[in-house]
Amino acid sequence: MSGIVLRPRASLEARVDLTGIVPDKLAGLGLSEIEHLSVPHGGRSATLADLFFVSRAPDGVVVIEIGDERLDHVGAGMAAGEIFVDGPVGAWAGLAMSGGILRISGNAGDFAGAELSGGRIDIAGNAGGHAGGASSGSRRGLSGGVLRIAGSVGTRAAARQRGGLIVVLGNAGDGLATDMIAGTTCVHGTLGALTGRGMKRGTVLCRNAPELPAGFVDTGTHDLIALRLLSRRVAELGEMIGAATSARRLVGDTLLGGQGEVLVV
């Protein structure tokens, strides 16, 4: 795989779509070929060399030295390799990734980690709405891999989640885990209104009792033996569960026949 460093030539004047600028799709290309790859820039196209100084990096690695909230689709479709961004990114970061690692040292826009099926995304800042959710018109949210957000997320994070793990160290907006089907979402901070609306299955772990839709039933306090055993293998679950030995379990959305669970640890 070919590795590159991208350093902006100047402040971006319009949004840039970096779809396809991922290590596995750059494999075998020479530096000149990479420089001449075309990317959408506003309402026109530009080459990478028009927008960035392009230099070599270790194989399998893409580095964006100065991030920008107008850089969209960073890491979208990546299957292998690593991408590092020093700063923020725009919308659709890591869309439909199936492997590899994407690390962002700043904030991310809407739909970060949408439809992730494998690999790992680490966001050091906040993420916008629909993090780990489904893109417009899709029935599938995150189905595999790990999405870890050190800050907070906007509305409808984990919507239609079908598997995998989402970890939010900050707060979550309204509609978390809407129509969730499977998987696990952990939120260390507060949760907004209507968490789990339409939830079928899956698990939401939280520290603060959320405002849940009418279809959730409080089943009392339960032990965490199974989760504590699992947390020994999954570090992010260990961070969430800590020394807790039991949790309050709320089941729903029963109005739709759902058997998802919200565990307050």
Mean pLDDT of 159-173: 97
Question: What is the reported pTM?
Answer: 0.96
Q: Is the pLDDT of residue 184 over 90?
A: yes
Assign 193 a pLDDT band (cuts: 50, 70, 90): very high
Q: What is the pLDDT of residue 62?
A: 98
Task: Determine the residue type at 57.
Answer: A
Q: Are 55 and 5 in contact (CB under 8 A)?
A: yes
Q: What is the pLDDT of residue 242?
A: 87
Structure tokens at 117: 């099926």
Secondary structure letter of residue 115 according to DSSP: T
Secondary structure letter of residue 30 according to DSSP: -
Cβ-count burial 44-65 (b if 16+ within 10 Å, e if not)? eebebeebbebeebeebbbbbe
Q: Is the pLDDT of residue 9 over 70?
A: yes
Domain chopping of the chain, boundaries: 1-106, 140-265
Long-range contacts of 23-28 (CB under 8 A, 24+ apart): 23/59, 23/60, 23/61, 23/62, 23/78, 23/80, 23/81, 23/82, 23/83, 23/100, 24/78, 24/79, 24/80, 24/81, 24/100, 25/77, 26/1, 26/2, 26/62, 27/1, 27/2, 28/2
92-131 pLDDT tens trace: 999 999 999 999 999 999 999 999 999 999 999 999 999 9
Assign 1 a pLDDT band (cuts: 50, 70, 90): low
